[in-house]
């Protein structure tokens, strides 16, 4: 009887645990091992280089630096613009406006589209001669600004980012909406009686009570910004001239196009470590809360 009770949890866990180990845990550990080698994946010529790959990425690989920079730009842009807009939309929609659900679904639907679809749709929007963006600029008399946005190394990443905001703003918005709706009316009523003005109630009541939501929004946004791939690969493939490469896409190229398995694995472990730094506080937070 006792023996049976001890085995049961493991039996139920077994399928998930087995698959999880085989697909996520062991492969990521193995790729850590691979990152210490200079190898192309097939030949018998496999040289141990220790931290050589990690070092050469920082010191010699200019595209790696571009990728890091682009991820940073995307990160800062996401934290400010995407979260800022998401919060703004949520605040607007939180009022007792009619048609609120309608607007919410309009702002959220791009989030359910795949990155590839977003990439194709927006590549078409940015088409130099037939795209909507060019047409729009002409209509408002700014055709001087018209540009092949996606083929210009200086503008490509930002053009993709706009598409990224279109796709991504819905998530912070619904998260903030949920957080806002959980706030009771009482603090606001008390504040109004005390003569507080709207900006003050926002700063001293709304923001503090949204603290939990902010943690979640920040964590998901940061990890998403580090892992961004589909939309960039779909719109520019990392170009022009590697100007829009990010860590994920550059890792793809190194591993699968150039067969530098060791380098590719090193890039991916850089990515893991950065994500770890971001997500560990979040995991601690979540598992603490579930103890209540």
Partner 1 sequence: MEASRKRKFSNGLLYVILAALAVFFILPVVFVAFTALKSNADLNAHSFYSFPQELMWSNFADAWNRIRKYMGNSLFISIVKVPLGILVNALAAFALTRLRFKWATGMFVFILIGMMVPMQATLVPLNMMLNAFDLNNTYPGIMFIYLGFGIPFGVLVLRGFMLAIPKELDEAALIDGCGELGKFFRIIVPIAMPAIATLFILDFLATWNEFLLAQIFITKDSMQPITAGLLTFQGQHSTNYTLLNAGVLLSILPVMFVYVFFQKYLISGMVGAVKG
Q: Which one of 187, 205, 229, 240 is in contact with partner 1 (CB under 8 A)?
A: 229
Residues 86-115 that bind partner 1 (CB under 8 A): 89, 92, 95, 97, 103-110, 112-115
Q: By C-beta, is 107 or 149 nearer to partner 1?
A: 107
Residues 25-54 that bind partner 1 (CB under 8 A): 25-28, 30-31, 34, 41
Strand partners, 38: 47
Q: By C-beta, is 156 or 278 nearer to partner 1?
A: 278
Q: Which one of 51, 76, 145, 276 is in contact with partner 1 (CB under 8 A)?
A: 276
Residues 251-270 that bind partner 1 (CB under 8 A): 251-252, 255-256, 261, 264-265, 267-269
Q: By C-beta, is 8 or 154 nearer to partner 1?
A: 8
Of the candidate spans 20-28, 48-56, 151-159, 200-208, the one that interacts with partner 1 by CB under 8 A turns out to be: 20-28
Q: Is 195 near partner 1 (CB under 8 A)?
A: no
Q: By C-beta, is 77 or 166 nearer to partner 1?
A: 166
Residues 126-185 that bind partner 1 (CB under 8 A): 127, 130, 132, 135, 166, 171, 174-175, 178
- For partner 1, how many residues bind (rule: CB under 8 A)? 88
Residues 199-218 that bind partner 1 (CB under 8 A): 212, 216
What is the C-alpha separation between 181 and 186, in angstroms, rounded?
A: 13
Pairing between β-strand 37-38 and β-strand 47-48 as defined by DSSP bridges = antiparallel
Q: By C-beta, is 221 or 243 nearer to partner 1?
A: 221
Residues 49-88 that bind partner 1 (CB under 8 A): none
């Amino acid at each position: 009887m006792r023996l049976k009770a001890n085995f049961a949890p493991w039996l139920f866990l077994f399928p998930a645990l087995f698959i999880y180990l085989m697909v996520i845990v062991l492969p990521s550990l193995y790729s850590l091992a691979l990152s210490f080698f200079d190898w192309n994946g097939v030949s018998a010529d496999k040289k141990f280089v220790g931290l050589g790959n990690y070092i050469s990425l920082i010191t010699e690989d200019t595209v790696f630096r571009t990728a890091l920079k682009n991820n940073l730009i995307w990160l800062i842009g996401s934290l400010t613009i995407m979260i800022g807009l998401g919060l703004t939309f949520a605040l607007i929609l939180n009022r007792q406006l009619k048609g609120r659900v309608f607007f919410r679904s309009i702002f959220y639907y791009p989030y359910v589209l795949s990155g590839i679809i977003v990439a194709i749709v927006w590549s078409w929007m940015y088409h130099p001669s037939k795209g909507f963006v060019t047409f729009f600029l002409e209509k408002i008399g700014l055709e001087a600004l018209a540009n092949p946005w996606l083929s210009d190394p200086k503008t490509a990443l930002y053009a993709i980012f706009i598409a990224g905001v279109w796709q991504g703003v819905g998530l912070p918005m619904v998260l903030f909406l949920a957080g806002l709706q959980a706030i009771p009316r009482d603090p606001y009523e008390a504040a109004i009686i005390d003569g507080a003005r709207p900006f003050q109630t926002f700063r001293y009541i709304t923001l503090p009570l949204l603290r939990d939501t902010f943690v979640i929004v920040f964590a998901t946004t940061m990890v998403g910004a580090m892992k961004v791939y589909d939309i960039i690969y779909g719109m520019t493939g990392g170009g022009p001239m590697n100007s829009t490469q990010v860590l994920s896409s550059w890792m793809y190229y190194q591993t699968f196009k150039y067969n530098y398995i060791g380098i590719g694995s090193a890039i991916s472990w850089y990515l893991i470590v950065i994500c770890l730094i971001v997500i560990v506080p979040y995991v601690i937070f979540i598992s603490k809360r579930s103890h209540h």
